[in-house]
Each structure stands twice: as C-alpha cells, then as structure tokens.
Amino acid sequence: MKKYILSLLLLTLIIQHPLLAQKIQVMSYNIHHGANKQEVNTLAEIGQFIKDSGAELVGLQEVDSMCNRSGKVDQMKKLGEITGMHYAFVRHFAYEGGAYGLGILSKYPISDVRNDRITSLSKGEEKKSLALLSAKVMLPGKKAIVFSTVHFALDQPTRITQSLETIEYLRRGLPAILTGDLNVEPGEKELLQLESHYTNIGLEGSDMLTFPDEKATKRIDYILVTKESLNKVIKSWVRTDIHHSDHLPLMAEIVLKNGSRAKKRG
C-alpha cells in the first residue's frame, strides 16, 4: 500500500511540475524558388537535405506555389511529401500564374496558421504588402510555441518598419522562434530592434555568413528566439556544403526554458 501511495504521489508531482526544458533543432533557409544560381531546379535535393539534416522546425523563404517558372508545382506540398513533415504556405502576392511566399516545415503538429501583413514601402510598379507566416506548433509534452518566418525588404526604411510590425504581430504570450532572410547585416537598426526582444542565435563572424552560397560575404539570414523563452544555445552553424540555392542554410540547436502547458494564443 505504501509503495502504491508513493507511486501515486510521484505521478501527481510529475503531472503538476512544469515541463522539462525542450531541446529543438531549427533551420532558416532561403530556397530561391527551389533553384540554384544557374536556375536549375533543386527542389528534390532541398527536400532530401532537410530530411537528412535533423531539423525539426524549418522556416523557408522565396517559396513558389504553382508558378510557371518552377513548373506549376506546389513546392511546400512536395517538400512535405519528401520530408514527411507537417507544412504550411502563405503568399506574399500572386506571381506567374501562382503565388510567391513563405513556408514552414515542422516535425510536430501545427495549427493557427496566420498570414499577417507587413508593410512594403519600396518604390516600384506596384506596392505590395508582404507576408509574416506564423503558426502554433505543439512540441512534445503539449508545450506550445509560435514558429514564424519572414523575408524583409531590400531597403532600410522599409525594414525598420517591418521589424517593428513583426515584434507586435508575434507578441502573443507564447515562446516564439523567428526565422528569416532579413536582408540586413549585424549591427543595423532594424536588427537591433528585434534584438531588444529576441536573442539572435549565432555569433557574428565569418563562420556565420549565409550569402551568397559560394564564398559567402554577408550574414543576412537569422534565427531569433524570444529572450524569456531561451534556456541556452547548444550550437549554431551554417551548412557551407549545401549549394541548392543562392543562400546557405542556417541551423541551430537550442534549449527552450521550462514552461507550463500551452496557453491559448490570443
């Protein structure tokens, strides 16, 4: 009887105790509409690389859906099939008979997929708002996080506005991981704005350069985690051996802090 009571008490404590810290591997990758610099289709190779990489959450930029230039393929559906992962796509805008936008892949169930619109102030033939893709991901142990990806504009005034909008859109009471091609190098105002709320994963330096894919000279791709959610960074690295796009994939293995069970996302 005593043994039974002790076992019951132990089970109760485990249920009531905050969840264990969560280790997770994340990737950010601009896939250049599934083509390399020579415009050779590399979508299958990208999918196989992601599958073999061990990444559990993947944020993708420059994704096509049913566009003429990429063979009328639903690229996120195809990547989902190759990797066996859950997936989502949102469009920036219509393009070449289909849509051009952002995608995520997740080893874990996703829900509440959102396409929040960030401002585009760039001059051009047509002013378009751009997408901020976010989704709720249910990690093991029913720990919910927001996983998101974004692709900022080329000009700084637009990026400064987009950075502030991104912070506000993702302020929803859950741990948040933001991935993206931010088109900004370390130390610039728009990145510092994000870093006031997020930890920028990865040290500055030649080992973190992501663009172009051969003889990279810039770091413009990032993985960021809300400061209060990050326990530690185990490692971060760039896959300099992968040349399926004009960008290099950025990866990180992180540990999220202990937390209680999922709260409703507002």
Q: List, for residues 103-141, the tens digit of each pLDDT value.
A: 999 999 999 999 999 998 756 545 578 999 999 999 998
Global model pTM greater than 0.95:
no
Q: Which amino acid, residue 123? A: K
Segment 55-100, tens digit of pLDDT: 999 999 999 999 999 999 999 999 999 999 999 999 999 999 999 9
Q: How many Cβ atoms from other residues are within 10 Å of residue 73's Cβ?
A: 18
Residue 217 lies in a domain: yes
Residues 25-60: pLDDT tens digits? Answer: 999 999 999 999 999 999 999 999 999 999 999 999
Rounded Cα distance between 180 and 163, Å, is: 11
Q: What is the token pair recorded at 207?
A: 């080992």
Contacts of 40 (CB under 8 A, 6+ apart): none
Measured in residues, the chain has a length of: 266
Lookup: tokens for 209? 């350069």
Domain membership flag for residue 15 = no
Number of domains in the chain: 1
pLDDT tens digit string along 201-255? Answer: 986 666 799 999 999 999 999 999 999 999 999 999 999 999 999 999 999 999 9
Joined together, the tokens standing for residue 180 give 């993206």
What residues pair up with 58 in beta bridges, in sequence order?
27, 105
Provide the pairing of β-strand 143-151 with 86-95. Answer: unpaired
The candidate with the shortest Cα–Cα distance to 24, out of 58, 60, 55, is 55
Other C-beta atoms within 10 Å of 111: how many? 12
CATH number at residue 34: 3.60.10.10
Q: Containing domain of residue 40, as a range?
A: 21-256
9 part of a folded domain: no
Q: How far apart are CA 119 and CA 132, in angstroms?
A: 10
Position 168 in a domain: yes
Q: Is 5 within a domain?
A: no
In a domain, 3, yes or no: no
Side-chain half-sphere exposure of 216, counting CA atoms within 13 A: 25
In a domain, 1, yes or no: no
Give the separation between CA 242 and CA 138, rounded to whole angstroms. 29
> Is 150 domain-assigned?
yes
